[in-house]
Chains A and B, each alone.
Chain A
Amino acid sequence: MFVRRKAITKAGKLGVVLLAALGLVMDPPVAQAEYGDVVINNYSDAAGMRPVIFPHWFHRVRFRCKVCHADLGFKFKAGGNEINMVKIIDGEYCGACHNGEIAWSVENCNLCHSAKPGTPTQVHESTTQRLVSPSAPAKQ
């Protein structure tokens, strides 16, 4: 039974790669966002706020990866950190810098909560998204 399930998983993985190969010969989707932009929409839509856009490019000009991903404890997983405003106001996650000292403070809701409503949590322009995304807009 275990072996059988493993075989199916392997076939699934092969499918992903075949789809990726197919993507390589088709036109790539129209570029959207900036490479590495993360949209976080764990709670925003439900709270009537625009989803959050985290621009990696802006932050890595100013901080090395380790600052957030080692010292502040951000996991390498879009939407995987269960960040909420209580934690941020307490100085965790984004709140370690967005406190009015290192960067602008939490009163500036709209500067982070700036995505089109309904945008799902994802890393934008990832290689996988560009090659296989079913949500990529059709090129006219």
Chain B
Amino acid sequence: MGLAAGGAAEQRQWPPLNNDGVHDPASPAVKLLQDPAEALSKLPPDTTGNQVRWVEALEKGSINPRTNVFPETKVTVLDLDVFLSLRGGMPIVRFPHRQHTEWLDCANCHEHLFKSKAGANKFSMFQILQGEQCGVCHGAVAFPLTECNRCHSVPHAGFDHSRQTGKQD
């Protein structure tokens, strides 16, 4: 289920476009477009999703994706961790703004998906699994929702509650 890690690089396989179940093998595109394996096999390995650690790929410079095609929004990196799910049975969620703002604009999430005010959001795994809240991206293009511990990553024991910038029930 993708919770295992390590040793993934050699085992990775991507279905070729002419046999991926979605492309029409009769379409001229399957001979002309890049196959996923050609691009993704060079990037830091993961065990799930695209089998690529996208954040790591960006941080290491394995990829250098453009920030603009028009001079519209600027990349505004915010280095702020928000801690959520402080009283649940699962480990505490650490939401790192930095990694998210390298890819996304503030307006992609604020204020319609999430209020900026700490504690103003009511998170629900029901909604996330249905493609709302974090599930707009996680489970569709960002790492899948089967990777529980990547978000629920901070043990309750020893957690410094003065850090709880995303205070909630």
Q: Do A and B come from one complex?
A: yes
Residues of A within 8 A of B (CB): 13-14, 16-17, 20, 24, 30-37, 39, 50, 53, 55-58, 60-67, 69-72, 76, 96-97, 102, 110-117, 119, 123-124, 126-128, 130, 137
Task: Pick 27 A–B contacts, CB within 8 A, sort by A.
Answer: A14-B126, A24-B1, A30-B21, A33-B22, A35-B144, A36-B141, A50-B24, A55-B36, A61-B43, A61-B65, A65-B108, A66-B73, A66-B103, A66-B104, A66-B108, A70-B105, A71-B69, A71-B70, A76-B136, A96-B69, A114-B27, A114-B29, A115-B22, A116-B22, A126-B144, A127-B145, A128-B131
- Cα A30 to Cα B15 in complex, Å, equals 11
Residues of B within 8 A of A (CB): 1, 14-15, 20-24, 27-30, 32-34, 36, 39-40, 43, 49-50, 52, 54, 63, 65-70, 72-73, 75, 102-105, 107-108, 125-126, 129-131, 135-141, 144-146
Contact A97 B69 (CB under 8 A): yes
A57 and B39 in contact (CB under 8 A), knowing A34-B14, A71-B72, A126-B131? Answer: yes
Given contacts A34-B20, A111-B29, 17 further A-B contacts (CB under 8 A): A16-B126, A32-B15, A53-B29, A57-B39, A58-B33, A67-B68, A69-B105, A70-B107, A71-B68, A71-B70, A96-B70, A111-B28, A112-B29, A116-B23, A119-B22, A127-B139, A127-B146
Instruction: Name the residue of chain A whose CB is nearest to the CB of B106.
Output: A70
